[in-house]
Structure 1
Amino acid sequence: MGVHVGDWIVVEPVHLGAHRRRGEVVRLAHPDGSPPYYVRWEGEDKETLFFPGSEAHLENPQEHGALHY
């Protein structure tokens, strides 16, 4: 599955005290949409290079649903 600019990445907490993170994919590292992705996280004014793990899933705004990696 390829990710597109504008998709939303959601990272669910995996341990007590962690919080859910949500960010928008703003750039792709590879033209086929494979990881890693450049993500701008909600509440932060910066982009990070993100390598998704099993705790992450994709929300596509056009589909209004979540797709797991």
Structure 2
Amino acid sequence: MQATVGDHVHMYSRNIGMIDRKGEILEVRGADGEPPYMVRFEDGHTGLVYPGPDCVVEHRNAEEQR
């Protein structure tokens, strides 16, 4: 998994009744865009994320990167 600053991460809930979590990647701490990522979630919480199989990186499109 690779990401850049500004990409979004979507962590799908693994349990019924729990909500998905979404956030913006603020910092990439691994080499070559690899995890871990510092993420600011929609609720304002910031945390270090080691994405698992229930997580998807949603890359910014080329237009937004300019």
TM-score normalised by the shorter chain: which range applies? Answer: 0.7 to 0.9
Pairwise CA RMSD: 1.5
- The structure whose residues are more often strand, as a share, is 1
* Equivalent residue, structure 2, for 1:7: 7
TM-score of the aligned structures, taking structure 1 as reference length: 0.80
The offset of 1:52, in angstroms, is: 0.3
Between the aligned partners of 2:48 and 2:41, the Cα distance in structure 1 is 11
Work out which structure has the larger RCO, using CA pairs closer than 8 Å and 6 or more positions apart in sequence: 2
Q: Please list, as runs of the form range in 1=range in 2, the aligned pairs for 1:1-69 lying within 5 A after superposition.
A: 1-44=1-44, 46-62=45-61
Q: Gaps (5+ residues) in structure 1?
A: 64-69
Secondary structure, counterpart of 1:40 in structure 2: strand
Between the aligned partners of 1:30 and 1:15, the Cα distance in structure 2 is 28
Identity %: 32
Show structure 1 runs of 4+ deviating over 6 A: none
Secondary structure, counterpart of 1:32 in structure 2: helix
